[in-house]
């Protein structure tokens, strides 16, 4: 198991998400950057839905009590194992008593810690993903314990270290599909939504990202309708909100765009002040 010496900021257990319960108002949740989380499980030869730790902006300090194999993917947070530098996308053998820490964030926003066989948090509504109100807490706290299976035999660590394209973190283009209410707006308004650059405000979390600019003010209302992760809503004040993995299940603002899973993952690695534009697919 892992002992949480320091929790970091918004560190949580996440798998692919909680599906099949949106009719009773349960969000999907799951890893914000499912691509980086998927790399962790793939390189450990885990099941694709095994739970990982999602670490946001400032990492935790963790003590391992049993042997296992770990990997870190996604954002670069200068990790150290027993005070020695380690790198992302490389397998490391862990022994009892080893301590993993994280330092300065240098690229992206969220990294993923995977262990052999996945983390064994409570399995609720067919998922281990943290979501406060469904699970007992939304984020890890100091002195928490997270279970994992002890690895009796050493893994083959002779896999090459991979180097995902930096474009994944650095791209300033977010690909979107037309949303259900896109055609409610004039061609001028549509062009304004697509052509201008966007910057991310300081109002960001796992539920959604609010953008800084005022785009198109309007009085177009809709009957409260389904929304999903990646839905982009346009508020009457003209601001855009990109719903993320802990998004509610319904909303009343026009749904002008819809992000793909890849685009959600790219957005999950962006932070306050980052600039990007939408590209219509």
State the CATH number of the domain containing residue 69: 2.60.120
User: What is the DSSP code (8-state) at residue 26?
Assistant: -
Q: Is 159 among the domain residues?
A: no
| Same domain flag for 126 and 221 | no
List Cβ neighbours of 182 (8 Å cut-off, separation of 6 or more): 190, 255, 256, 257
| Same domain flag for 92 and 206 | no
State residue 159's pLDDT score: 59
Q: Is 154 among the domain residues?
A: no
Q: Which two tokens stand for residue 254?
A: 């026009």
State residue 166's pLDDT score: 56
Cα angle vertex 151, ends 149, 153, to 5°?
A: 160
Is 58:140 a contact under the CB 8 Å cutoff? no
Cβ-based neighbour number of residue 214 at 10 Å = 11
State residue 36's pLDDT score: 96
Is 272:204 a contact under the CB 8 Å cutoff? yes
| Same domain flag for 128 and 218 | no
pTM of the model: 0.94
Domain count of the chain?
A: 2
Question: In sequence order, what E strands does 116-239 have?
Answer: 145-146, 173-178, 198-204, 208-211, 225-226, 231-234
State residue 161's pLDDT score: 63
CATH number of residue 243's parent domain: 2.40.100.10
State residue 157's pLDDT score: 61
Instruction: Scan for tokens 């963790």, then name that residue.
Output: 62
| Same domain flag for 142 and 181 | no
| Same domain flag for 178 and 130 | no
| Same domain flag for 10 and 127 | yes
Q: Is 257 among the domain residues?
A: yes
Is 127:21 a contact under the CB 8 Å cutoff? no
Q: Is 164 among the domain residues?
A: no
DSSP β-bridge partners for residue 119: 51, 148
**Per-residue pLDDT in tens (0 to 9) along the chain, 281 residues:** 999 999 999 999 999 999 999 999 999 999 999 999 999 999 999 999 999 999 999 999 999 999 999 999 999 999 999 999 999 999 999 999 999 999 999 999 999 999 999 999 999 999 999 999 999 999 999 999 999 998 865 556 665 566 666 567 789 999 999 999 999 999 999 999 999 999 999 999 999 999 999 999 999 989 999 999 999 999 999 999 999 999 999 999 999 999 999 999 999 999 999 999 999 99
Q: Which domain holds residue 84?
A: 2-146
């Amino acid at each position: 198991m892992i002992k949480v010496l320091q929790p970091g900021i918004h560190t949580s257990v996440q798998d692919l998400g909680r599906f099949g319960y949106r009719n009773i108002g349960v969000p999907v949740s799951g890893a914000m950057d499912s691509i980086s989380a998927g790399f962790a499980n793939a390189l450990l030869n885990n099941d694709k839905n095994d739970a990982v730790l999602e670490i946001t902006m400032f990492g935790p300090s963790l003590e391992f009590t049993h042997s296992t194999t770990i990997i870190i993917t996604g954002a670069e947070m200068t990790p150290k194992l027993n005070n020695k530098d380690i790198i992302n996308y490389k397998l490391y053998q862990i022994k009892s008593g080893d301590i993993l820490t994280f330092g300065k964030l240098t690229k992206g926003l969220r990294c993923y810690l995977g262990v052999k066989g996945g983390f064994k948090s409570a399995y609720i509504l067919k998922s281990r993903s943290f979501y406060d109100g469904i699970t007992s807490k939304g984020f890890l706290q100091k002195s928490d314990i997270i279970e994992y299976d002890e690895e009796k035999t050493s893994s083959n660590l002779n896999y090459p270290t991979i180097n995902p394209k930096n474009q994944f973190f650095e791209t300033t283009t977010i690909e979107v599909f037309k949303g259900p209410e896109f055609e409610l707006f004039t061609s001028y308004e549509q062009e304004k939504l697509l052509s201008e650059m966007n910057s991310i405000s300081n109002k960001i979390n796992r539920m959604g990202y609010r953008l800084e600019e005022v785009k198109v003010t309007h009085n177009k209302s809709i009957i409260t309708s389904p929304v999903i992760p990646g839905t982009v809503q346009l508020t009457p004040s003209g601001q855009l909100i990109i719903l993320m993995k802990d998004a509610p299940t319904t909303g009343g603002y026009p749904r002008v765009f819809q992000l793909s899973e890849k685009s959600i993952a790219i957005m999950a690695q962006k932070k306050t002040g980052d600039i990007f534009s939408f590209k219509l697919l």
